[in-house]
Amino acid sequence: MKLLITGVSGLLGINLAQETMSAHDMTGVDRGKLVRAPFDILRTDLLNPGAVDAILDSARPDWLINCAALADLEACDANPELARRLNTDLPGELAKACYARGVSFVHISTDAVFDGQKDGFYTEKDVPYALGTYAQTKLDGERAAFSANRGALVVRVNFYGWSLSGRRSLAEFFFTNLTHNKSMSGFTDVIFCPMLVNHTARILVKMLERGLSGLYHLVGPQAMSKYQFGVEIARKFALKEGEISPKSILSSSLTARRSHNLWLSTNKLSTDLNETLPDFSTGLDEFYTQYQQGYPQKIRGYQQP
């Protein structure tokens, strides 16, 4: 199949490219970060007038996975107009253009669309309530995608892994600080469901192959605090978990509003795929193996020096 990935230099985009470039005719959309990538690149700014139609007419894909986003919560609050254009308007434009051409469209959303006030986990049937600019623009992006394309697949995610910059995931944050003997904090009152980004990528392809559409939660099946996540990283890499201090997010210097409970149920996805999603320890083992095998250095070699 011909696959087009927007936002290919991001954390999900670059790992999705790695997972698909051998089995599929894969093309990535990038503004210029990637110079030595082992796959085809269309260089464009998707916010330019006519860019969406141009890339689809050039690549002529069977599938498009939209990974493009402004995902930094503080940056979204600082520049809400850019957040709206990338997180809301662009998904709607892509969904509409794919619908007109018969291209299967996947939009990547976020677990952050929920306010975290519920006891227990959230399902796809729960009504979201967004906190802050990032969450609201991503929620509006879901709605824009479905409004423009009734066959769209919208997936709420939370993932970690190795990135081009080495600074895009929480796992890299803990790993980098611990390997440099730097102390840091881990939030005890923020619950989430992390999944290795490579598992996210593989499951996305399975969802496309099965022809799924609608709204799904694609996160890890195990909920934990961000502090616990950091401790698990430290233990796996034999680093000093004592350097991570338990802390409440309420006492942090972060200004963008964040939810305390992002525990999402994946029962709908597991049922429709008829398989169990990979557990946290399996993902952490692969994350560690990737490090041993030089995977971070490999993907970072694709970018501008």
What pLDDT, in 10s, does the model give residues 90-99? 999 999 999 9
Tell me: pLDDT of 155 over 90: yes
Beta bridge partners of 225: 191
What pLDDT, in 10s, does the model give residues 168-198? 899 999 999 999 999 989 999 999 999 999 9
Tell me: pLDDT of 114 over 90: yes
Tell me: pLDDT of 250 over 90: no
What pLDDT, in 10s, does the model give residues 190-241? 999 999 999 999 999 999 999 999 999 999 999 999 999 999 999 999 999 9
Amino acid at 106: V
Per-residue H/E/C for 40-88: EEEECCCCCCCHHHHHHHHHCCCEEEECCCCCCHHHHHHCHHHHHHHHH
What are the structural domains of the chain? Answer: 2-165+194-223+264-284 (3.40.50.720)
Category of 200 on φ-ψ map: left (φ > 0), alpha (ψ -120 to 50) or beta: alpha
- Stretch 263-289: mean pLDDT: 97
- Stretch 139-166: mean pLDDT: 96
Amino acid at 6: T
Tell me: pLDDT of 270 over 90: yes
The dihedrals phi and psi of 119, each to the nearest 5 degrees, come to -80, 130
Pull the structure tokens for residue 108: 């990547």
CA distance 177 to 131: 29
pLDDT the model gives residue 10: 95
Helices then strands, each counted (H, E), the chain: 12, 13
- Percent with pLDDT over 90 in the chain: 91
pLDDT the model gives residue 237: 97
Tell me: pLDDT of 148 over 80: yes
User: Is there a contact between 249 and 258 (Cβ–Cβ < 8 Å)?
Assistant: yes
pLDDT the model gives residue 82: 97
Specify the range with the lowest mean pLDDT, choosing from 14-28, 99-113, 210-224, 241-255.
241-255
pLDDT the model gives residue 251: 81
CA distance 124 to 264: 8
CA distance 157 to 279: 15
- Percent with pLDDT over 70 in the chain: 100
Tell me: pLDDT of 304 over 80: no
Q: What is the mean pLDDT of the chain?
A: 95
What pLDDT, in 10s, does the model give residues 70-108? 999 999 999 999 999 999 999 999 999 999 999 999 999
CA within 13 Å, CB half, 181: 0
pLDDT the model gives residue 13: 97
Q: Is 0.85 surpassed by the pTM of this model?
A: yes
- Stretch 140-161: mean pLDDT: 97
pLDDT the model gives residue 43: 94
User: Is there a contact between 183 and 240 (Cβ–Cβ < 8 Å)?
Assistant: no
